[in-house]
Amino acid sequence: MPESGDIRIDNIMPHLSNRWITLPFEECLDNRDIKFKKLKKKDIKPEGIYPVIDQGENFISGYIDNEADLFFGPLPAIIFGDHTRRIKFIDFQFAVGADGTKILHPFEFLNQRFFYYYLRSLNIESQGYSRHYRFLKAIDVPVPSLNEQRRIVAKLELLLAKVEACQERLNKIPAILKRFRQSVLAAACSGRLTADWKNENHNGHNGHPSSWNNVKLSNFIESMRNGIYKPEKFYATEGTICLRMYNIQNGQIVWKNLKRMNLTSEEISQYALKAGDILVNRVNSRELVGKAAIIDQINEPVIFESKNIRLRTEKEMIISRYVNYCFMTRIVRDVFEDIAKQTVGMATISQPQIANLVLPIPKIEEQHEIVRRVEALFKIADQIEDRYKKAKTHVDKLAQSILAKAFRGELVPQDPNDEPASESLEKIKDERNNDKGKSSDLRTSKRNSKKRDRFHVRDK
């Protein structure tokens, strides 16, 4: 395929059936002059009578009540996001929002849905917030017979509806897994998770066990320390790993995007983390402040920065992994959120506030059993999540595979009654010439009208 300037269209377009004629993209567009208003964000409301469509991720960006602001051009219309590359098919009355929202209408020799699906099949790589319409201007558009276009559209809509239904079901899984993990934690920190274990070991009875006590965390703390603060010049590509608040995710340390600091041996000794330490985020948004993670086995010195607190527990009295699970439950989250409500701007928590947390503490033998069971259940959830991610990747690619097959001409059988491509091309030429003739007649009519107006003015 040819190139257009610095744009290689063979990287953008799918492989097309050689049975079809093709036309340059802009020659396929009905570029009639349609005036419409592009609404600014301040004009758009979350509720209203008429939907607003823009180039954003959400299909509908908001609503308006003023009928005069609606798009009164022909429907359906195809939206292309010049910045976002999003493509939307609109067959209802709407208003246009935001800069970068391109409205496309193909000529009648292209089925609107066929043209829309062809645009969806394109592989336009993101160029950030720059304009992307230039990539469309560089491509060609296939033009099978209208009957074949209709057959392709019917088959695509049947198959893509199944793909979308599958995507909808898959999209529910993350929320289900999140609820499952929260249920496990709630059961773990209330005694329900180990109710059978207690009965078997004669250490309690059904319901909240008598061997549990609500105790201040301060009774089990060996030490606490805020992290180190250093100016930017101390950060380097080499040095000691420094864990930041961004490295605390879902009760675990994420060993990615690590920063390093140049520190003295004394500083490293003071702020070094050990396996079993709990790292608590002390400065963050109200929703995230107080998030915590357990430090697993580490093979080199690791320290922590000033927006975190290192919590080290008395190992003979309490298991740090059990405490970390408590930090992930509503028991602790509610306390931190109440503290956060009392602050303006970024929320903070202090060492005394952590020390004063009241946690449900069972005997150490039961803590070990709780940790074992939570880890086993979380492992199952992690396995399901991995399978979900693989399935989602496969299903997300499936739509593009179906579209690619459609535009290779392999999705529907051929019909010998379809008109040949050469006849289609002649009709297209005739239609375009007629359109040009109509435009020329319209321009001539307008010029004559202006001449008559000038003549009448002179008569007066």
What burial letters (b/e) apply to 58-74, b meaning 16+ CB within 10 Å?
A: eeebbebeeeebbbeee
What's the length of the chain?
Answer: 460
In a domain, 84, yes or no: yes
Report pLDDT digits (tens) over 237-267. Answer: 889 999 999 999 999 999 998 999 999 999 9
Measured CA to CA, the distance from residue 41 to residue 59 in angstroms comes to 15
* In a shared domain, residues 39 and 122: yes
> Are 132 and 248 contained in the same domain?
no
Strand partners of residue 215: 359
pTM (2 decimals)? Answer: 0.75
**Residue 445 in this model has a pLDDT that exceeds 50:** no
Q: Which residue, 180, 137, 176, is CA-closest to 31?
A: 137
Token output for 33: 């002059």
Please tell me whether residues 218 and 356 are part of one structural domain: yes
The pLDDT of 338-360, averaged and rounded, is 89
**CATH code of the domain in which 64 resides:** 3.90.220.20
- Residue 181: inside a domain, yes or no? no
Domain-embedded: residue 277: yes
∠ CA 329-334-340, nearest 5°, is: 130
Lowest average pLDDT, out of 15-29, 111-125, 332-346, goes to 332-346
Same domain? 105 vs 227? no
Domain C-terminal end among 361, 380, 401: 361
Whether residue 216 contacts residue 254, with contact meaning beta carbons closer than 8 Å, is answered with no
219 lies in the same domain as 134? no
pLDDT for the residue 210: 53
**What's the pLDDT at 456?**
37
> Which residue from 25, 153, 13 is spatially nearest to 89, judged by alpha carbons?
153
Domain termination site, one of 123, 142, 161: 142
Q: Does a structural domain hold residue 166? A: no
Distance CA 310, CA 325 (A): 16
pLDDT category, 129, cuts 50, 70, 90?
Answer: confident
94 located within any domain: yes
* Same domain as 121, residue 242: no
CA atoms within 13 A on the CB side of 56: 12
In a domain, 54, yes or no: yes
Alpha-carbon distance of 106 to 81, in angstroms, equals: 17
Looking at the fold, whether 4 and 105 belong to one and the same domain comes out as yes
Residue 451 pLDDT greater than 90, yes or no? no
* Residue 35 lies inside a defined structural domain of this protein: yes
| 271-287 confidence digits (pLDDT tens) | 999 999 999 999 998 88
Q: What does the pLDDT read at residue 459?
A: 33
Tokens for 64?
A: 């308006």
The total number of structural domains in the chain stands at 2
Q: Looking at the domain assignment, is residue 333 inside a domain?
A: yes
> How much is the pLDDT for 33?
76
Burial of 309 (0-12, 13-18, 19+ CB in 10 A): buried
Query: Is the same domain home to 37 and 134?
Result: yes
pLDDT in tens, 387-444: 999 999 999 999 999 999 999 999 999 888 887 666 666 766 666 666 555 544 544 4
Q: Which of 361, 384, 418 is the last residue of a domain?
A: 361
For residue 67, give its domain range. 1-142
256 and 350 fall within a common domain: yes
